């Protein structure tokens, strides 16, 4: 009976008993079922994660497309703004040239008017001086009634000619 006193025997018996209890209480089936259910949950989560990843990739592609479109639109807006600025620059330059030309013509017109006025003022002054000189000369040389009539007629004649 040495066999019963060996510790290896009792370890083997205990192990067999333990396995028998596990089988009796259907522990391997429960463990397998738990592992299967956990594997199913993990598979479902992986499928859901895969769907979310695909959806995220779709959204990323859409946002990248929208970003490219927005950049293209921004470039078009910038190009239009540059064209508009160039047109405005040309129009402003043309308007400025027209304004300078109008002001130059106005200045020339004012100068011409001032010249005409100066000529008229000189003529008036010359006529007044001529009248005064004629009066002085005639008053010194001609005397009496003939002098008065001559002076009056001459003054009237000079005034008519100057006007």
84 vs 92: CA distance, rounded Å: 12
How many domains does one find in the chain?
1
CA distance 14 to 7: 10
Instruction: Judge whether residue 146 has pLDDT over 90.
Output: no
Q: Which two tokens stand for residue 136?
A: 């002085």
pLDDT at residue number 13: 85
Distances (CA, A) of 89 to 80, 81, 98, 101, 146: 14, 12, 14, 18, 79
| Band of pLDDT at residue 147, cut at 50, 70 and 90 | low
Give the C-alpha separation, 162 to 140, whole Å: 24
For the entire predicted model, the pTM comes to 0.43
Measured distance CA(99)–CA(152) in Å, rounded: 55
Q: Quick one: pLDDT at residue 125?
A: 84
Q: How confident is the model at residue 149 (pLDDT cuts 50, 70, 90)?
A: confident
Half-sphere exposure of 34 (CA within 13 A, CB side): 5
Domain extent at residue 125 = 2-162
Burial status of residue 142 (CB atoms within 10 A of its CB: 0-12, 13-18, 19 or more): middle
Which two tokens mark 4?
């019963």
Matching residue, tokens 């990739």: 57
Backbone angles phi, psi at 143, to 5 degrees: -130, 155
Tell me the average pLDDT across 123-148.
Answer: 74
More confident residue, 158 or 92: 92
């Amino acid at each position: 009976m040495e066999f019963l006193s060996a510790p290896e025997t009792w370890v083997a018996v205990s192990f067999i008993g333990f396995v028998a209890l596990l089988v009796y209480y259907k522990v391997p089936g429960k463990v397998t079922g738990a592992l299967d259910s956990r594997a199913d949950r993990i598979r479902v989560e992986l499928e859901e994660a895969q769907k979310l990843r695909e959806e995220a990739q779709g959204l990323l592609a859409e946002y990248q497309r929208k970003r490219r479109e927005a950049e293209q639109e921004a470039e078009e807006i910038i190009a239009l703004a540059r064209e508009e600025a160039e047109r405005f620059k040309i129009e402003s330059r043309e308007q400025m040239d027209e304004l300078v030309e109008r002001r130059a013509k106005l200045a020339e017109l004012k100068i011409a008017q001032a010249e005409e006025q100066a000529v008229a003022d000189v003529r008036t002054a010359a006529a007044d001086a001529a009248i005064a000189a004629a009066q002085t000369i005639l008053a010194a040389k001609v005397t009496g009634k003939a002098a008065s009539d001559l002076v009056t007629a001459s003054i009237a004649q000079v005034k008519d000619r100057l006007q």
